[in-house]
Amino acid sequence: MEVQLLEATEDPERVICTAARNDYMSEFVGDCSFDEIMETAEGDTIEEKQETLIGHLLDHGHFGPFEHPQATFAVKGISRSCMAQITRHRHVSFDIQSMRYVSFDDVDPADVREGELVVTPPSATDPDWVGRNQESGSVGEETAERREEVFNDAIEHAVESYQELLDLGMPPEDARFVLPIGTKVNMVMSMNARMLMHVADMRAAADSQWEIRNMTEEVLDLAEEWCPITFEHYNEHMKGRKNRLAP
């Protein structure tokens, strides 16, 4: 899996602060400099003032201003299962690589074992991996090896069947029905900073599945570089809290 930040609102925290201060100013923010807009916020420098204001907004649940800055991420090689989970979030916009128009007819079945086409869950190879709702804990090496064998055989068989159906003239949009839910897909997704915190609340949580959790952690790392005051505050004071509400 790979996650990249493709595009994002320039100076997102200036946008957040301007929108928030708009609510409490008699002057029109469009006629004011940023220094004037931030004049009454606590702090000696403009950065300190932004930190105070953003921390205050987040601590008091004033989340509206965080809907203005938006970021677009490119995600490579997640499973269709992970894609189904993330696309449940209705305020995120998506573009998903199509299996109607992109066929995998040139994939070598040998590459399938290398995880080229299908995501391999850690539980297929790691004897000590303990997942959610798993009845047994660690298993012996022999069981783990057998799991890997069964997993790879099933995928190899599915890919061979898919390729044979294409050879028999079946359209890719129909032949794909035999491919596993772990088949890799690329996508582009855009969301605002508020939604990003909500996705992180739900998908970086311990009860979330490992794949979407890993993807969300990568998105959060990029968000912290893009919108540092907000996401440092989120990571320090809000992430992982119980009784979370949709921010």
Ligand X SMILES: Cc1cc2nc3c(=O)[nH]c(=O)nc-3n(C[C@H](O)[C@H](O)[C@H](O)COP(=O)(O)OP(=O)(O)OC[C@H]3O[C@@H](n4cnc5c(N)ncnc54)[C@H](O)[C@@H]3O)c2cc1C
Query: Active-site residues: which are they?
Result: 203
- Residue type at 140? G
Give me the least distance between CB of 115 and ligand X, in Å please.
24
70 sits in which H/E element: strand 70-79
Binding footprint of ligand X, residue count (CB under 6 A) = 9
Pairing of strands 2-8, 93-96: unpaired
Q: How many CB atoms lie within 10 A of CB 229?
A: 20
Give me the least distance between CB of 195 and ligand X, in Å please.
7
Give residues 117-156 in contact with ligand X (rule: CB under 6 A): none
Among 207, 236, 242, 243, binds ligand X (CB under 6 A): 207
Which span (51-59, 68-76, 87-95, 120-128) binds ligand X, by CB under 6 A? 87-95
Q: How many helices (H) and strands (E) does the chain have?
A: 10, 4
Nearer to ligand X, 178 or 202 (CB): 202
Among 89, 157, 213, 244, binds ligand X (CB under 6 A): 89
CA torsion angle for 50, 51, 52, 53 (degrees, to 10)?
Answer: 50
Please tell me whether residue 194 binds ligand X under the rule CB under 6 A.
Answer: no
Among 49, 147, 198, 233, binds ligand X (CB under 6 A): 198
Are 182 and 79 spatial neighbours (Cβ–Cβ below 8 Å)? yes
Please tell me whether residue 244 binds ligand X under the rule CB under 6 A.
Answer: no
Pairing of strands 184-192, 70-79: antiparallel
Distance CA 167, CA 229 (A): 54
Please tell me whether residue 88 binds ligand X under the rule CB under 6 A.
Answer: yes
Please tell me whether residue 246 binds ligand X under the rule CB under 6 A.
Answer: yes
Are 211 and 246 spatial neighbours (Cβ–Cβ below 8 Å)? no
Are 199 and 238 spatial neighbours (Cβ–Cβ below 8 Å)? no
Nearer to ligand X, 60 or 90 (CB): 90
Give me the least distance between CB of 27 and ligand X, in Å please.
33
Please tell me whether residue 192 binds ligand X under the rule CB under 6 A.
Answer: no
Which span (41-49, 82-90, 121-129, 229-237) binds ligand X, by CB under 6 A? 82-90
Please tell me whether residue 243 binds ligand X under the rule CB under 6 A.
Answer: no
Helix H segments across 38-140? 46-59, 80-86, 109-112
> Minimal CA–CA distance to 78: which of 217, 224, 215, 192?
215
Please tell me whether residue 202 binds ligand X under the rule CB under 6 A.
Answer: yes
Nearer to ligand X, 150 or 246 (CB): 246
Q: DSSP 3-state assignment of 90? A: coil
Among 90, 136, 206, 242, binds ligand X (CB under 6 A): 90
Contacting positions for ligand X (CB under 6 A)? 88-91, 198, 202, 207-208, 246
